[in-house]
Structure 1
Amino acid sequence: MAQMAPTPPDLTLLYSMEALLGDRFSLGPTPNGQERIVIPIVGGTFKGPRLSGNVLNLGADWRLTDANGAIRPDARYNIRTDDGTDIFVQTVGLPPGPDGRTMLRGQFETATDGTYAWLNHVAAVGVLTRNGTHSVTIDMWQATPPRIKE
């Protein structure tokens, strides 16, 4: 059997989000790192080709500064689509790159019998861009196996 060359996954935009952030506070040094900073997520909006709505005032980024001084996002929050569906979102991230943007892995959880049940099975990657201290933009993409070219 011939080995095919690796091909990257296809990416499809899920949404672009502006999340509004509250005042951060520190838990201080923790067993898992140098410091845990809590950044409340207090609102915002998201818009994409298959889902749009609002970011609820329900969640936070429990950002960790690890033992090496690298910042690692760890957020859990809820969004609500324009048609009233609630979706739990969890993102974890790598330390910011040289341009300040952060790569995220996203995971979604929602009702298994609802319009957005497909999100429960999505492999998602995102790019977070900071807009000062009280807002971030997250562009979230669905990764799928590459299309086979004939």
Structure 2
Amino acid sequence: MSLPAPPRLEFAFAVRIRLRPALYMGKSPLGHERAAVYLEDGEFEGPGIRGRVLSGSGGDWAVVRPDGVLDFDARYVLQTDDGVSIYMQNRGYRWGSEEVMARMRRREPVDPSEYYMRASPKFEVQSGPYDWLMRYVFVGVADKTPEGNVIRYFKVL
């Protein structure tokens, strides 16, 4: 039996989000720390799609695991320039050295080569010009900025 060809990636769009400062809730008896990070606003753009991230439409309820890995689960609403609302759930991981993670918590600039941050989104949208978002698997490559995140999403073909 031959192996399947490896998947190809095609750029879909990039999102820039601005986040409010994180609220860390302390370590729970489960051994992790929960953080609430609420969305301020943002914008997105790619071939055939662009718009804004609706202010106050969601946030991230991340878990900081005992091994230091940030396990995020962000949910928010995108709105295209032609008025279509898109629900987005974004799951993924961010990790780096303790020093790098501490700098990010303080909202200091950190070079993307110093940490790993990847995402796997899912979308819900009405039938129409953007329902292709519900037909593909996507992977996101993210950069942490002092204001929030910039995530470039790629369709897995």
TM range (shorter): 0.7 to 0.9
Matched position secondary structure for 1:47: strand
1:117 aligns with 2:116: no
Residues of 1 paired with 2:91 and 2:10: CA distance?
A: 20
Mapping 1:1-150, distance limit 5 Å: 3-30=1-28, 32-57=30-55, 58-96=57-95, 99-111=114-126, 113-132=127-146, 134-144=147-157
Contact 1:71 1:94 in 2 (8 A): yes
TM-score (norm 2): 0.81
Partner Cα distance (2:30, 2:21) in 1? 23
* More helix per residue: 2
Structure 1 unmatched ranges of 5 or more: 145-150
Q: Which runs of 5+ in 2 are unaligned?
A: 97-112
Give the Cα–Cα distance (whole angstroms) in 2 for the partners of residues 95 and 22 of structure 1.
Answer: 18
Q: 2:64·2:71 contact (CA, 8 Å) conserved in 1?
A: yes
Normalising by structure 1, report the TM-score: 0.84
Aligned amino acid, residue 89 of structure 2: Q
> Is 2:68–2:95's contact at 8 Å kept on the other side of the alignment?
no
Q: Structure 1 pair 118/68, CA: closer, same or farther in 2 (3 Å)?
A: same
Q: Give the Cα–Cα distance (whole angstroms) in 1 for the partners of residues 66 and 132 of structure 2.
A: 37
RMSD value over aligned CA atoms? 1.7
